[in-house]
Structure 1
Amino acid sequence: MASKYDGLARIIIQNVGGKSNVISLTHCITRLRFKLKDESKANTEILKNTDGIVTVMKSGGQYQVVIGNHVPDVYEVVCKIGGFGEEPQEADGEKPQKRQKLFSALIDTISGVFQPILGVFCATGLIKGILAILTFTGVLTAESGTYQLLYAVADGFFYYLPVILGYTASKKFGLNPFTGIALGCALVYPKVVALTSKDVMEVLFAGTMFESNIYATFMKIPVIMPKSGYPSSVVPIILAVYVASKIEKFWKRVIPDVIKNFLVPTLTLMVAAPLTFVVVGPLANSIAAVIGYLTQAAYNASPVLEGAIVGAFWQVLVIFGLHWGLVPVYIMNLKTQGFDSFMQPYFAASFAQTAVVAAVMLKTKDKNLKSLCIPATISGIFGVTEPAIYGISLPKKKPFIISCVAASIGGAIIGAGNVKKYMSGALGIFGFPTFINPANNDTSSIPWVTAGVVVASLIAFAACFIIYRDEETKKVSEVLPARKPGKFNLVSPVKGNTVALDQVEDTAFASGILGTGIAVMPEEGIVYAPADGTITALFPTGHAIGMVTEDGAEIVIHVGLDTVNLNGKGFTPLTEAGSQVKKGQELLKFDMDLIQAAGYSILTPVVISNPNTFSDIIPTDADHVNPGETLITVI
């Protein structure tokens, strides 16, 4: 059954340069996010003026078509009509024309991996915040069944994050998504996590910053893991999927087609899984160890300096999972001293992050962005900032940078006060009681930590509120004038006998999924412009033309059925995409005899692909038409 978004989907695919111009397609809460080979092929002006599209933006190497809250429905139809599958669309020998800068590419990768789960990310964070309120006020206890079941949903999502990211990262890197899920499952498999609770087999680099415990070996190669294992981690699975995507492509090239279905994933997992545990994981651990050592050295030199560093980079470390380099020192201090001062400057970071998102929420005029900021702000107040980071501040860059600077200032204040934390656990606003000494009710740390949080929040909010601007696109001249009430005619682009569209031996055209119109059996091999307008697409094979008329009709003229298989043979384009044409102007010549001799029909459907934007579309009832005679009347 045709969807109400079929016409819109066709326009989008046509005006991003066609399927062949699309490397990959994902969507977030409000936008279709294309990676295009050549953005110059996209008809941005036409897309902006299309009903159903809010606007078009280009950011972080992505071509973003803003749809609104119903974007998942549009995405599904675009994928169906465009034939976009699990893997990025990539023509042989073709590469994206523009290489992204490292920082933009990094953000694009992280954002692309997290975008599909942002809605649920916000939801689980919000549930955690609600549970924190209910336990703080005594409505629930952490031991109650109600709390445990709800917490299982909220915390379970974070715990099994590597499994979820295994899927989304696979979509990003073009790996079989179930192979990515399998790698994520391996990272959080209970027996693997339990290895860290067993006796240490050996200690490597004892007494150095790289001191590591070996809990198992793989073919006599040490397996080094963080003490908490890989649950809730981010970077290891993303790196693992990236490596696996390269391995999979190799196996696809060398393994015969008849056994690819089961042998490619088998060999990919057998190589990628061990690499994940013996290379990717230890690499992340080593980087974390260096960070921990340097931070400890900074703290010994000056708590204020260390506070500024931790505050500034805490969110960055969390994104890459490198904060685990600081956690061991924190835990050791709690056990040996009964408190920790080393890591506490991080406390200002979550409030600074929440403050910039609150500023964006108040400043933006984008209703869809505002609706995303609300739950992210609420969950951030309770210490769960991942939705804010991955969904809002990081993709927009400036808010994220502002939050880091503000957190650095707040962290320096906390460091200056030698703030002490006496217990682990609560986050966000419920974390303040953890700075009270339970032995003697000493609250001397509270004023300092409060000052750090307040200063960081105020600076972050004020700076972001002043600096933030909604993304703007260049103002361009209107391609389409305002429609006037009444009707207009489209003349026949070819000479020949008419055929009702539902009689065309092509399901896509006959079902109306590609638009409303009529077909003509040509008597001469020339295609003329059916109206004044702009050529929006001229397929490289020459077999199909897309144009938008001055009255706003999106027209597709498809010469023959399945003639794309001729790869341009027999077709001679006389215009190009982007050209302004006049009614009756010759657009294309085609060799009818050659096409028919090759076994293809020359029946030519002419359809309007945005029929829902008009009151009615009436094909001619004439049995024969000449170029210049009315073929379709549009009301």
Structure 2
Amino acid sequence: MKYEQLAKDIIKNVGGKENVNSVVHCVTRLRFKLKDEDKANTDVLKNMDGIVTVMKSGGQYQVVIGNHVPDVYKAVLAAGGFDTESSSDDEENGEKQSLFNQFVDMISGIFAPVLGVLAATGMIKGFNALFVALEWYPNTSGTYYILHAIGDSLFYFFPIFLGFTAMKKFGGNHFVGMAIGAALVYPTLSGLTSGDPLYTLFQGTLFESPVYITFLGIPVILMSYASSVIPIVLAAFIGAKLERWFTKVIPDVVKTFLVPFSTLLVVVPLTFLVIGPIATWVGAFLGQGTNWAYEVSPLLAGLILGGLWQVFVMFGLHWGFIPIAINNLSVMGYDYILAMISATSLATTGVVLGVMLRTKNQKIKTLSIPAAISAVFGVSEPALYGITLPLKRPFFITLITSAVGGVIMAAAGTKVYMMGGLGVFGIPSKIGPEGLDVGFWGGMTAMAVNLVLGFILAYFFGLSKKQRSEETNNQQATTSSTERKDEEIVSPLKGNVMLLSEVKDEAFSTGALGKGLAIDPTEGKLISPVAGTVTALFPTNHAVGITTDSGAQILMHIGLDTIQLDGKHFTSYVKQGDRVEKGQQLVDFDIEQIKKAGYSVVTPVLVTNSADYSEIVVTQSKTVEVGDHFIEAVIV
């Protein structure tokens, strides 16, 4: 229930659930496919608490949430009544996308759901390799085999998992997709290649293939499909198309079992006979092509990939590299792409820490700590959208620093040998069969250089002279205005006075949100207790925040848990950003209806920046009228 209101607000501001074709999520973002993006209130979403920013890319409307996106996603599904198993068809919804947008959307839809588990199992496999390299236990021990089984489980049986996500993406029965994938990695078939072949096809060519079995007299080219990517994706695509056709022609009374029966009976043999071999050859050529491009100029590859990775992430273009990297791991046993971009998160961390120590902006300082921690673990979006991109210079410093890291890794020949974790959790994935080699130490050097160089450049050059001057002036203005006088806060309501400790809500009663008092109102009319600017107004109109001209931050929260009323029984007369005077009416609320709905109307009135004052003096009166002396924030 924690994110229920946020989910409702998101759905409302993307144009309502009737405007949503589908929604999925990745590590930090909700990825909507909307019928009409013009109906979305992008500015409202960007300024909403709990949302980092909003992006439009690859035919998707992306709401960046942060690390807790899985919880928000569940709340969005519940609030919107969306079916997690459903899949939209762009043509049926009248939406026409470019081929590139369709490609990005397809790749993200297939791979995004499994990346978290893929990273987790890769981390286990990587740490297992690290512990062997450190001689904590041998690679013949039971501990090693069990951890290796966990770490290798998803990647070895990747076709089964991709069969599920790909079939779901293409609009088919995802369990049929899993059955196709399971057939591809069926162990008995791989064991048939141990004897002598019946004969050899394409002998003397690049496609030379021994034939061990036939299907209805047709030669079957048996290949290893464990960890493969392309064959199952193509098979699922064709399977989904066939399944739709069978659904139309097979009578309803036998559809439940005859549709999957017919689909599997056609697609699985077709995959072994045609799709699988062709897709495997394509994957091999793709892997060799990537390897060739890297060998032509590894430094240039490192410069471009490392330097532009944040740009790719920003526009969602990084999805195009994920299947290539996974294919490289499957075909060659290693990959350069994920290696050359792996230091970017450390560059981001260094840049954010440099900005944090240099800036005088308290909001940026507050954002920097969680953003830096998140970046260390490989999730850079909070830093990207909250700090580096808005400040501009830090963003370009991140790109430059990441390019340096990419070049160092390319020069050292750093590779990853498994899908591992993000950020520092990706370190073990750089341990190869030979243990801690030059490539591994090159990767460590690049990450260290990125962290230190990013910090130094951001500290000395991250803020322009104009930005530093504005921060100094703002700080001086705030300090001087705050020092001019104490702040008097009058009662915004008529009613009975309560101590905060009596409020039945721990966030208020403990003083965690600030010092003040509470009022049990007898009249549903909230007035402004100070002159200032409305800096916070919840969409449900149940809470108002005002910052005074002298810098005091006042929060009035009408009732407890009244956010659940979704704005019912509340009428606001102001909007966020408005200038208000002391005594000006802010909100009307219906006390009887709110109580009838089962909610308390006790209203905490807080000075949320109480720490900026030496003392918060409250009235000793048991009852107050609107405009009575209520709280005084004392400087000295």
Band the TM-score falls in, shorter-chain normalisation:
0.5 to 0.7
Cα deviations by residue, 1:522-553 (Å, 9 ceiling, x for unpaired): xxxxxxxxxxxxxxxxxxxxxxxxxxxx9644
How do 1:112-131 and structure 2 match up within 5 A?
Answer: 112-131=109-128
Alignment of 1:243 with 2:241, yes or no, is no
How do 1:515-534 and structure 2 match up within 5 A?
Answer: none
- Residue number in structure 2 paired with 1:49: 47
SS at match of 1:68: coil
SS at match of 1:240: helix
Alignment of 1:7 with 2:5, yes or no, is yes
Instruction: Decide which of 609, 612, 635 is 2:566's aligned counterpart.
Output: 609
- Residue number in structure 2 paired with 1:142: 139
SS at match of 1:50: coil
Cα distance change on mapping 1:316 and 1:76 into 2, 3 Å: closer
- Residue number in structure 1 paired with 2:633: none
Q: TM-score, normalised by structure 2?
A: 0.55
Is this contact kept in 1: 2:287–2:324, CA < 8 A?
no
Instruction: Decide which of 355, 372, 377 is 2:343's aligned counterpart.
Output: 355
Cα distance change on mapping 1:283 and 1:459 into 2, 3 Å: farther
SS at match of 2:282: helix
- Residue number in structure 2 paired with 1:88: 87
Measured in 2, the distance between the counterparts of 1:613 and 1:363 equals 44
Give the aligned residue type for 2:113.
Answer: P
Cα deviations by residue, 1:212-269 (Å, 9 ceiling, x for unpaired): 232333333333243xx11112222222222222222223333343433333222222
- Residue number in structure 1 paired with 2:255: 260
How do 1:265-284 and structure 2 match up within 5 A?
Answer: 265-284=260-279
How far apart are residue 13 of structure 1 and its match?
A: 2.1
Is this contact kept in 2: 1:201–1:213, CA < 8 A?
yes
Measured in 2, the distance between the counterparts of 1:64 and 1:485 equals 42
SS at match of 2:343: helix
- Residue number in structure 2 paired with 1:201: 198
How far apart are residue 356 of structure 1 and its match?
A: 2.9
- Residue number in structure 2 paired with 1:508: none
Measured in 1, the distance between the counterparts of 2:373 and 2:431 equals 25
Is this contact kept in 2: 1:290–1:325, CA < 8 A?
no
Q: Between the two proteins, what is the percent identity of the paired residues?
A: 41
- Residue number in structure 2 paired with 1:321: 327
Cα deviations by residue, 1:602-628 (Å, 9 ceiling, x for unpaired): xxxxx9536799999646669xxxxxx
Alignment of 1:71 with 2:69, yes or no, is yes
Measured in 1, the distance between the counterparts of 2:270 and 2:454 equals 42
Q: TM-score, normalised by structure 1?
A: 0.55
How far apart are residue 400 of structure 1 and its match?
A: 12
Count of residues in Structure 1 that have an aligned counterpart in Structure 2: 430
How far apart are residue 69 of structure 1 and its match?
A: 3.5
How far apart are residue 39 of structure 1 and its match?
A: 1.0
Cα deviations by residue, 1:400-433 (Å, 9 ceiling, x for unpaired): 9999998799668869xxxxxxxxxx98554384
Cα distance change on mapping 1:348 and 1:251 into 2, 3 Å: closer
Is this contact kept in 1: 2:350–2:454, CA < 8 A?
no
Cα distance change on mapping 1:166 and 1:619 into 2, 3 Å: farther
Is this contact kept in 2: 1:347–1:453, CA < 8 A?
no
- Residue number in structure 2 paired with 1:179: 176
How far apart are residue 121 of structure 1 and its match?
A: 2.4
Cα distance change on mapping 1:165 and 1:621 into 2, 3 Å: closer
- Residue number in structure 2 paired with 1:157: 154
Is this contact kept in 2: 1:200–1:213, CA < 8 A?
yes
Instruction: Decide which of 100, 103, 106 is 1:106's aligned counterpart.
Output: 103
Measured in 2, the distance between the counterparts of 1:367 and 1:264 equals 54
- Residue number in structure 2 paired with 1:625: none
How far apart are residue 83 of structure 1 and its match?
A: 2.7
Measured in 2, the distance between the counterparts of 1:262 and 1:169 equals 21
Give the aligned residue type for 1:122.
Answer: A
Higher relative contact order (CA 8 A, sep 6+): 1
Measured in 1, the distance between the counterparts of 2:208 and 2:65 equals 51
SS at match of 2:341: helix
Cα deviations by residue, 1:78-110 (Å, 9 ceiling, x for unpaired): 22332322122459942224x1442x5434333
Measured in 1, the distance between the counterparts of 2:343 and 2:57 equals 23
Give the aligned residue type for 2:274.
Answer: V
Measured in 1, the distance between the counterparts of 2:404 and 2:102 equals 22
SS at match of 2:342: helix
Cα distance change on mapping 1:225 and 1:412 into 2, 3 Å: farther
Cα distance change on mapping 1:289 and 1:69 into 2, 3 Å: closer
Measured in 2, the distance between the counterparts of 1:234 and 1:366 equals 38
SS at match of 1:431: coil
Measured in 1, the distance between the counterparts of 2:285 and 2:341 equals 25
- Residue number in structure 2 paired with 1:286: 281
SS at match of 1:170: helix
How far apart are residue 138 of structure 1 and its match?
A: 1.7
Is this contact kept in 1: 2:122–2:429, CA < 8 A?
no
Is this contact kept in 2: 1:348–1:453, CA < 8 A?
no
Measured in 1, the distance between the counterparts of 2:263 and 2:407 equals 43
Instruction: Decide which of 25, 28, 31 is 2:26's aligned counterpart.
Output: 28
SS at match of 1:25: strand
How far apart are residue 171 of structure 1 and its match?
A: 3.2
SS at match of 1:321: helix
Measured in 2, the distance between the counterparts of 1:620 and 1:114 equals 52
Is this contact kept in 2: 1:184–1:237, CA < 8 A?
yes
Cα deviations by residue, 1:320-360 (Å, 9 ceiling, x for unpaired): 62676667xxxxxxxxxxxxxxxxxx776554232234334
